Structure 1
């Protein structure tokens, strides 16, 4: 409706303009015709009234008048035609402007159509790309399930690997920590060495005291209460026994480095690690903490690699296929124009993959990417993806400081 009104208005303006132009052209033509006819009319009129008229030259004075009159007509005609020209030019300019506006509108419409066509093409391409991705993705998921079925024992096999890694660490790590501890102790000066050996001496006899006197006469809760009293110096019988032990130490070991070395060499440090003896010296506490709470990553890698190498022919294919599935997810571009939407799609498919893994499989994958040389590329692929998120059972960690490794996989800003 608005377009029709605008078109009607433009037509009226065009007709009005055409009328003015025609009127001015006619008026200008009349003035030009008047200017051309005027000399002949005057000649005809004055010819009979001039005495002694022989030639047109006898009309010189009248000619001057005619010239002035003709010029006026021609000037008026020029002005009128100039106005007509201006009006025509204005009309042409308006027509040009309208043409340009129409062209701009057509261009905008073409651009809009092209943009819509591009969006439709993108939607079509994205849909096809996603369909191709999903076909490959779910085929690889099926392959993963088949690989798992081919592993003898299936998911139970990973529990065996878990136990093997734990045993391998305990064996290698205990020897490592024990040798390191003994070397560090024996590296102390004789005075500090004496204080450490004295505490070890007391700890061992305290354990014997608890075993011989109390362990068979109390329930677990009562035993724990008695043990707390002994440790805190509230058990008078133990305090008396401790004085005798210190006297023995002074007599047999004090300030004798060879005796110190022999005594340390005979100690079973597993009693400290297993919790049978509570370490009372700071040096001993650090030894137990390093073993239990802050084990060295290299020792963990050695333990895991030794077990992985034994079972690579069984689980190597399993982890390689998982790597390829994650790589497929990470390399696909679901939405190139919206990074947030793209990441949400990737997270959805990572979640589908994770849902295929049991708790023990997920935990062993965590160990594979963290402590295996061949898992380094896999680890880099999972960086900042929250792949493990809160799905790992922390109480099942072989090493307490494993949760520190989770920071690498955590999504920044989450």
Structure 2
């Protein structure tokens, strides 16, 4: 009987104490578990954000790599086209001769044609040499050199026109990209690669082609200045009035000075064009009425 009462008291005591302990334990641990759960959720969100950030960076790197690859593919295709155009150049001296009859009659220029009458046609890069020889014949002055070249460009544009247009587009391709796509360092790297494709004779003709009033309003020349495209053009002073380019044609100080500073187009309005199929062709009056 005594044992039974004692057991009952112990059981009642244990039940009461354990219940209180359980309430205490649950009251303490529940907030802790809730906090840990919330903390784990926050950690998960932070980790996911970091993973998303890393994924975004990888995507940006991949996109940049793809952009760079696309730009380089396009650039080297233009380089390849440049060589193909240079190799396919054609020059028929007899056609230029017909356009130069007045000069033939009035100057010693006839001697040049007498030397060349056995070979009148040239294909590929020898065209550059022959045109330079034509420009410099009879010790032509810088003014005469430019006049002769302008005649070729105006009356026989098919000879070199497409060659220089492609070269201009190659430089525009390099220059047109934003800095976050192509850095200044890479732009100059590409320009250097392009420059290395040009012989000294090509550089001499490029110099004349981009002189004021010869080809455009100065956009081409600005790109030559920006990327130092004439850096490797051989220039030798013969006299105060003659600086020999690539051992061929004479230019003067004023012509050399044109390649020192770029032309500022910021205050000029180039937006008014007749447009249509003519695009930005400035030879078409803005208003035909």
Using the size of structure 1 for normalisation, the TM-score is 0.41
Superposed CA offset, 1:97-145 (max 9, x none): 1221122112212321232133224323422442233223312321122
* Higher normalized strand content (fraction of residues): 2
- Aligned residue number for residue 131 of structure 2: 157
Alpha-carbon shift at residue 314 of structure 1 (Å): 3.2
Superposed CA offset, 1:171-201 (max 9, x none): xxxxxxxxxxxxxxxxxxxxxxxxxxxxxxx
Superposed CA offset, 1:34-91 (max 9, x none): xxxxxxxxxxxxxxxxxxxxxxxxxxxxxxxxxxxxxxxxxxx5x9736632331122
| Aligned positions of 1:107-146 closer than 5 A | 107-146=49-88
Matched-pair contact (CA < 8 Å) for 2:82–2:167: yes
1:322 paired to 2:164: yes
- Aligned residue number for residue 103 of structure 2: none
* Higher normalized helix content (fraction of residues): 1
Show structure 1 runs of 5+ residues with no match: 1-26, 34-76, 170-299, 410-414
- Distance in 1 (alpha carbons) for counterparts of 2:23 and 2:29: 10
- Aligned residue number for residue 229 of structure 2: 387
- Distance in 2 (alpha carbons) for counterparts of 1:150 and 1:335: 44
| Aligned positions of 1:85-96 closer than 5 A | 85-96=27-38
- Aligned residue number for residue 352 of structure 1: 196
Matched-pair contact (CA < 8 Å) for 1:335–1:342: no
- Aligned residue number for residue 166 of structure 1: 140
- Aligned residue number for residue 16 of structure 2: 30
Matched-pair contact (CA < 8 Å) for 2:135–2:148: yes
* RMSD (Å), alpha carbons: 3.5
- Distance in 2 (alpha carbons) for counterparts of 1:87 and 1:134: 69
- Distance in 2 (alpha carbons) for counterparts of 1:317 and 1:382: 21
- Aligned residue number for residue 311 of structure 1: 152
| Aligned positions of 1:48-87 closer than 5 A | 77=20, 81=23, 84-87=26-29
Matched-pair contact (CA < 8 Å) for 1:28–1:81: no
- Distance in 2 (alpha carbons) for counterparts of 1:335 and 1:137: 22
List structure 1 segments (4+ residues) > 6 angstroms apart after TM superposition: none
Report the 3-state secondary structure (helix = DSSP H, G, I; strand = E; otherwise coil) of the residue aligned with 2:225. Answer: coil
- Aligned residue number for residue 366 of structure 1: 207
Matched-pair contact (CA < 8 Å) for 2:79–2:194: no
Show structure 2 runs of 5+ residues with no match: 1-12, 94-120, 238-243, 263-289
Using the size of structure 2 for normalisation, the TM-score is 0.57
1:339 paired to 2:192: no
- Distance in 2 (alpha carbons) for counterparts of 1:388 and 1:30: 100
Alignment CA distance shift 1:400-1:374 (3 Å): closer
Alignment CA distance shift 1:82-1:161 (3 Å): same
- Aligned residue number for residue 103 of structure 1: 45
